[in-house]
Structure 1
Amino acid sequence: MREYRLVMDTNSEDFDRAMVIYRSSFPENERLPEKKLAEKITNQEFQLLVSYEESKVSFMAILCPLKETNFSLLGYVAVAENLRGKGIGEDFLKYLGKELKEKDEFLLLEVENPASGDNQATKQRRLNFYQRLGAKILDKVRFLLPNLWNETPPEMLLMIYPFYPLNYIKRELVEKLINKVYEDFYEQYQHPNIELLCKNIPDIVNLI
């Protein structure tokens, strides 16, 4: 069984290897600066989890517990380029889903919307991956990443994983989660996107 390790030393080889995977997996306009990641991990505001193949870091994930909720944002999850397609990411989500279920906690996922922009087939495959594992989309909830690198941020879907006990969540919780993602993960306080995104959320948000 694959093992996962929490990395807290940002001067370690494990952290450096995780950052190599991070840089190769996400476009610049979706990445937080590595210096900021290191600071947040050191302060225990973020959690960096890794796993190994042949004693080398092959997988990395960054989680951000969202304050005053029982949700954590899955900020980034990635597998080393030469090991993709071997089920490593799926193993991790199944492991994490089991851990969260025991604590009555949940993941909030940001997934690119296949209906928006280019590379729609790739985006749809990613969405299908999460749905196959049981993640649910927050229906009729729009989400945008903050503009990190002066480029147009992609349209996103928000998803909940693992199985949520209800088939809906209330507007107030969705608003809180959006605020906490912007504040706790991106350090964007009173960002204009927050008001924009919260404006048209239904009173009851179905999980589909």
Structure 2
Amino acid sequence: MALHVKALGSSNTHEFDGFYAIYSTAFPLSEQKSRDALLAMQHASFYTIYLAYSDEKIVGFCIMYHPDNKDFFLLEYMAIDEKERGIGLGSMLLKSSIDQLFQTHGTRALLIEIDSPEKSSNEQKIREKREQFYRHLGALKIDPFDYILPLQSSEEAPPMELLVYQPNLHKIPKETLQSWLEKLYANVYGCSKNDSRIAKMLDHVPPILNLI
């Protein structure tokens, strides 16, 4: 199977439709952005949608947030066509996307939000498998730290973890983590950088946090 990965062009409507067909079935409706919001991301200078092709068929994607003059990236979404899962395409897609991202925008910490497998859930095995997937590629967990997803509804956020991929990074100062959280909350989720949840997350963390 010949797999290759390339960035979705800002004016390519046919490839956008192929991407959206996978996106619209890969996530619960509560976690999806609107088609218009995704079109805006396609045209934004601080987002790149990487598409995975098997021969000429789109079989997966990942969306990277890469703001200018910031010291981190965010893996916002990633999915493989459900008919193509379980054969290693996800690993190849993510590795290639990270390589292209680093080559284009420089090497920074890539942040990855995941549901915590350490909390009991009826999706326990799925969560454990997802964490193992990212850890196998070299992502590390911030310790000690519990991430609060910045939902804007009254719904309680699920227990989360924040993983970091950056091969040369093994510790981060509390101030760096605070800066990342403020930018995520304000620029990605539309919350205030002074959101009380940020202070709650940082209340008991040490001055230096390990990546384990």
TM over 0.5: yes
Show the counterpart of 2:21: 20
Q: Deviations over 1:38-90 (max 9, x none)?
A: 21331223211112124221111111114543321000111001001121110
Using structure 2 for the length normalisation, give the TM-score: 0.86
**1:203 partner amino acid:** P
What is the CA–CA distance in structure 1 between the aligned matches of 2:152 and 2:83, rounded to whole Å?
28
Q: Tell me by how many angstroms 1:18 deviates.
A: 1.3
Kindly indicate whether the alpha-carbon contact (under 8 Å) linking 1:66 and 1:181 is maintained by their aligned counterparts in 2: no
Show the counterpart of 2:4: 3
> Cα–Cα, structure 1 residues 170 and 96, in superposed 2: closer, same or farther, change >3 Å?
same
Q: Tell me by how many angstroms 1:100 deviates.
A: 5.4
> Cα–Cα, structure 1 residues 139 and 66, in superposed 2: closer, same or farther, change >3 Å?
farther
Q: Are residues 1:113 and 2:116 paired?
A: yes
Show the counterpart of 1:161: 165
Which runs of 5 or more residues in structure 2 are unaligned? none
Q: Deviations over 1:12-50 (max 9, x none)?
A: 121122122112222223223332222133122321111
**1:131 partner amino acid:** R
Show the counterpart of 1:88: 89
Q: Tell me by how many angstroms 1:198 deviates.
A: 2.9
Using structure 1 for the length normalisation, give the TM-score: 0.88
Kindly indicate whether the alpha-carbon contact (under 8 Å) linking 1:10 and 1:38 is maintained by their aligned counterparts in 2: no
Counterparts of 1:105-144 in structure 2, within 5 Å, are 105-116=108-119, 117-144=121-148
Q: Which has the bigger relative contact order, CA under 8 A and spacing at least 6?
A: 1
1:179 to 170, 177, 182: 182
What is the CA–CA distance in structure 1 between the aligned matches of 2:102 and 2:51, rounded to whole Å?
20
Which runs of 5 or more residues in structure 1 are unaligned? none
> Cα–Cα, structure 1 residues 56 and 6, in superposed 2: closer, same or farther, change >3 Å?
same
What is the CA–CA distance in structure 2 between the aligned matches of 1:143 and 1:27, rounded to whole Å?
20
What is the CA–CA distance in structure 1 between the aligned matches of 2:33 and 2:206, rounded to whole Å?
30
Show the counterpart of 1:52: 53
What is the CA–CA distance in structure 2 between the aligned matches of 1:96 and 1:174, rounded to whole Å?
24
How many correspondences in the alignment?
207
Show the counterpart of 1:76: 77
Kindly indicate whether the alpha-carbon contact (under 8 Å) linking 1:97 and 1:161 is maintained by their aligned counterparts in 2: no
What is the CA–CA distance in structure 1 between the aligned matches of 2:39 and 2:102, rounded to whole Å?
28
